[in-house]
Chain A
Amino acid sequence: MANQATMHEKDLQKVTSSQRVVSILVKTLLYAFLSLMALIVVFPFYWMIISSLKSITEYRLPIPTLFPKEIIWHNYIEAFSAANLDRLFLNTVYVGVVSTLLSLVITVLCAFAFARLEFKGKNALFAALLGTMMIPGELFTITNFITVNNFGWIDTYTVLIVPFLVSIFYIYLLRQNFLQIPNELYLAAKVDGTSDLKYLWKVMIPLSLPTLISITILKMMGAWNSYVWPRLVTTSEEMRLITNGLRDAFTDMSGQANVPVQMAAVAIVSFPLFLVFLFLRKYIMKGVSRSGIKG
């Protein structure tokens, strides 16, 4: 018996030592591959930042430098004025904040009705709403464009805010969260004579704060990144949003353009998104992993 046990241990050691060599090799390959991919993923950001700090002559060197010899902050000031970014920045913040606030109120009320209240045709209505999520947004855009024309909303903030206030995806997300809150809490609040609105404000909203934050971030990012709709429904430059300004200001593709200034403008637009990514990443990841929707 004792003999058998030692044999078994020997075998085990032999296997592990040969396996260890393989596993170290595999680990090295894994890390090498992942580092290479990570490098590729990060490279455009790196290139954007260092290009934005170079002088135009340095940028045009036949053998590009990987770090600016002389850091030119002036590119950023130039970018701000070239693309009218200050005005567009304020526009975007205004549209983003107002539409997020209104959207949150509407979404919370709607999700509450679908999660807690009883009414006729609740499930049928909810299923119908979910069904519309399959339809590509361009189909809505056409008629919405006609509608806002008829309303005379062209070139106003209203047109940038109102058509996208209700998102069925956000309602769905929040309803799922509300449903997780035990119904006993609601009944207890009813017994104590708490009104629905107070219950919503004091219990439901604090308990589903992570989802609300996710919605806020996605909505703000949506305003920040929206390009097509503002371009369609605004005629004056002053009413556009920041992404429009960015694209319209730098259309020279001949290779003669002042790329460092252009990259500075791109960096200005990307910077708030980096901040969001740094500090609020987990909320985005949570929201995203439950959907396929960007912004």
Chain B
Amino acid sequence: MDDNKKTGGWFTEAVLNTFFKEWVWNTFCVKWFWKSFCVNLVYKKFDKWKAWIYLVPAIVLLLVFTVWPIINTVRIAFLDGYSILGEVGGETYSFGISNFLDVLDEYSGFGEALKNTLWLTFITVPLSTILALIIAVCLNSIKPLQKFLQTIFFLPYVTNSIAIGMVFEAMFNIVGLGTSDPSFGIINNILGVFGLDPINWININSSYWANMAVMIIYIVWNALPFKILILLGGLQSVNKQYYDAAKIDSTPRIRVFTRITVPLLSPMIAYVVITGFIGGFKEYSSIVGIFGDDMQAVGTEHTLNTMVGYIYDALGNNEGRASAAALILFAIIFVVTMINLRVSKKKTHY
């Protein structure tokens, strides 16, 4: 019975398998499935997925070099004393905030870097913005030579900040030190024409503020073209009717400037100030251009390091501290930008 049953079982199974199941499967299921699969995938589903094929290269690179860094930098900022060499060596790190404490420690040099950065930013941004605004307004009110002068003012934008930093270094540097007849350099020569005493800008025993002045002059010089471009673009799109109305009322020029030009230009001014602050807090390569990698004038005690310079110094031996400093930098930029936005929202007239 059992055998019979078994054989019967086997038989029916074989019949089912070979003749019925496969046949039904082949004729109906597979064909239907295949058809719907093709239709769906190629004409409908594929359309949805097609976009991702275009996006894949960008997304992969962004995941590796943009998204992962955000996560990882925050992670290692909170790993005590993390360094890449240590991790390769199999060291493990515990979570904590000691990196931040290290950064804020008075001997780590972060305080000086922060001080330098703040001075540079809060001096150069207002200075370059006001200067750019004056130049843009002047440019806008002349006709002949306007295009020519505009081109000249844009020239510093298309430069290599390290290369031109070296030119500034040469201009402020003493010429021919150690020779029989050293001179004070071209800038001091020009100052001498106006009867001013030469200043020790960047040489041995130069003062902190002399060094700072050189950096400020260079940074402002470098920041002008972008600001003039934006502000002049804004001025040229201002409705001429406001100025005609002021002319009829014979409004003085100063009043026209403060009551019409500045308010109408306020969105552009806000934009220029915000990008200026962000750029100022990230100041680094222009200082390398003038003073070299050491971020210090030769023969002086004070460092001219900035926050970005501090991060790069820590990178390579103490990535945890570099990450903590980068997060602090981000926080500062974020707060200052938010304050800027809040202020400009109140003061901006659209």
Contacts and interface: CB of A to CB of B under 8 A. Distances in A.
Contacts of A59: 175-176
Interface string B73-96: 100100000001000000000000
Given A47-B171, A118-B51, A254 B69 contact: no
Given A146-B319, A247-B289, A254 B153 contact: no
Interface in A192-212: 196
Contact of A243 (B52, B162, B183): B162
A284 B175 CA distance: 37
Q: Chain B contact residues: over half helix, strand or loop, or mixed?
A: helix
Interface in B155-190: 155-164, 166-171, 173-179, 181-183, 186, 189
B326 A136 contact: yes
B159 A138 contact: no
Interface in A5-53: 26-27, 30-31, 33-34, 37-38, 40-42, 44-45, 47-48, 51
A275 to B, nearest CB: 10
A30 B226 contact: no
B221 A44 contact: yes
Interface residues of A, number: 91
Contacts of A274: 158
A38 B149 CA distance: 7
A62 B183 contact: yes
Interface residues of B, number: 100
Nearest to A39: B152
Given A253-B169, A259-B170, A142 B315 contact: yes
Interface of B: 48, 50-52, 54-55, 57-58, 61-62, 64-70, 72-73, 76, 84, 134-135, 138-139, 141-142, 145, 149, 151-164, 166-171, 173-179, 181-183, 186, 189, 202-203, 221, 224, 226, 229-230, 233, 253, 271, 275, 278-279, 281-282, 284-285, 288-289, 291-293, 297-298, 308, 311-312, 315-316, 319, 322-323, 326-327, 329-330, 333-334, 337
5 contacts: A51-B170, A138-B329, A141-B315, A142-B322, A166-B57
